[in-house]
Amino acid sequence: MMADKDGMQLAKNYGLDIPHHQNGYFVKGMEHVDWGMKDRLSRIFRPNTGKTVMLAFDHGYIMGATAGLERLDLAIEPLAPYADALMATRGALRSCIQPIHNKPVILRASAGSTVLQDDMSHEVVGVDIDDAIRINASCLAIQVFVGASGECQSLNNLVKTIDTGARYGIPTLGVTAVGKEMERTTRYFMLASRVLAELGAHIVKTYYCDDFEHVVAACPVPIVVAGGKKIPEYDALDLVYRAMQAGAAGVDMGRNVFQAQSPLAMLKSINAVVHDGLTVVQAYDLYQTEISESA
C-alpha cells in the first residue's frame, strides 16, 4: 500500500528549546551496559526503589531435598508473586514452577560436587547459553570459591559465563561461596566481592559481616546479601535491615523464608524492610500480624 502523501502532517514538535535529557541509569555501575542488559536488570531491581528481594530455592543442586523444599511446587508457588526474582535451577523451574508468574529468573548456571564431598569448590559451568535463553533467564548465577583449592577453576567459570552472557545481553551474578576452610571476615568478603566485580560480574551475592558498609563501598556493582542458614525470624529481619542500612541493593533469601513458621508472612515482611524502609520492630510486627490474619 502506497503512503498517503496528502494525509501526512508536517512534523514540527522538535523541542528545540529543551535540551535532551540524559537519564542516569539507576543500577550501580551499569550505566554503560547495553539496552537489553539494562532491561533485564530493571526487572530484577525495582526501578522505583533500586532494590530487589530474590527468592532462592536452588539449594537442591548440592543439598538434595532441603527441609522446606521437599515439594517445590507446594513451597514456591504461593511465594512467587511476592518475590522480585526467582533464583533456581533449570530442572526445578521446568518440573515444578508454573511459567505464569512473569518474574525474572536468576538461573543457577554452575554445577559441581554435593555436600557429601569435603571440598565442593571444583565446579563447572552446568548450563549452556542456548538453554538459558530458552528458559528466558534474566541473569546467570555462578558460584565462586575465592581462597579454596578450586578458586582458579571457579573464577574461570565466572569469566566464561560473563563473556557468553554478554553476547546476548544477559548479566551474571557472582556468588561468593564460603567453604569450611574459609574465613568469614570483613577483609575476606571485601576481597572476594571486589574480585568478582573486577572480573566483570554485574551483581555480587555475598554474606553480611561486620563493617558491611566497607564491603559495599569497595564493590563497584550492586551487592545482594545471602540469607544463609535458618535463624529466628526476628534475627533474619534484623539481618535484612542492617544489610540495607549498610548499602546493600537487596537480599537473596531462601531458608529464612521457606523454613519460617509462615514463609509468606516472612517474605512480605522482608519486602517491607527492603522496599518500604520498615524497621526491624515494624517488620516483625507485620510478620506476626500476617500470621494472625491468616490463621
Q: Specify whether 268 is catalytic.
A: no
Q: Give 27's contacts (C-beta < 8 A, 6+ positions apart).
A: 38, 41, 42, 45, 50, 222, 249
SS3 content of the chain, % helix, strand, coil (to 5): 40, 15, 45
Identify whether the C-beta of residue 223 lies closer than 8 Å to the C-beta of residue 204: yes
| C-alpha to C-alpha distance for 52 and 250, rounded to whole angstroms | 5
Catalogue the E-assigned strands of the chain.
Answer: 52-56, 85-88, 105-108, 110-111, 124-125, 139-144, 172-176, 203-206, 223-226, 250-253
| C-alpha to C-alpha distance for 91 and 103, rounded to whole angstroms | 17
Residue 271, C-alpha cell as written in the block: 519486602
In the block, residue with C-alpha cell 522446606? 68
Sign of the torsion angle spanned by Cα atoms 242, 88, 158, 41: negative
Q: Which amino acid is at 280?
A: V
Annotated catalytic residue, options 28, 38, 205, 268: 205
Closest of 34, 28, 33 to residue 52, by C-alpha: 28
Q: Give 184's contacts (C-beta < 8 A, 6+ positions apart).
A: 178, 207, 209
Residue 62, C-alpha cell as written in the block: 548440592
In the block, residue with C-alpha cell 528466558? 136
What are the catalytic residues?
Answer: 205
